[in-house]
Amino acid sequence: MRLRRVLRVQAQYQERLAVEGAASLAQAASTRLLQLLREVRAGWSREVQVPAPVHAFVSRSVASMEAAAAAMARPGADLARLGVEFRETGMALVLFLRGLDEASPTVLAELLGEPLPRSA
């Protein structure tokens, strides 16, 4: 999954930033994370038959991660806080998508407020 790869890369950069703390490394981290998030967004856009509320949630989550990644490149950025925001959003999204994969169509319909078929 592309999203898990993004989280691995972010964790590696976060570890290096904690030790090195160089502005050039923060810029490199920002650039790389934004590139990987574009790939996530492109992959997600190819998904078909995704309910609008699910698509909106994923789009907002990726946008939040993009904002945190972009902010890393700013001089004086609080890299620790941005890293936490990035990871919390990413982890929640991974778990959401995993749960979505495992949800039955009936449960998904119920959560989306769609009428359920009547049983006999």
pLDDT tens digit sequence for 67-92:
999 999 999 999 999 999 999 999 99
The separation between CA 16 and the C-alpha centre of its own chain, rounded to angstroms, equals 21
pTM above 0.85, yes or no: yes
Query: pLDDT class for 33, splitting at 50, 70, 90?
Result: very high
Locate 66 and state its tokens: 């993009």
Locate 92 and state its tokens: 């929640």
Q: Among 5-9, 31-35, 96-100, 108-112, which is the least confidently predicted range?
A: 108-112
More confident residue, 67 or 97: 67
Whether residue 22 has pLDDT greater than 60: yes
Query: Which run of H or E residues covers position 92?
Result: helix 79-102
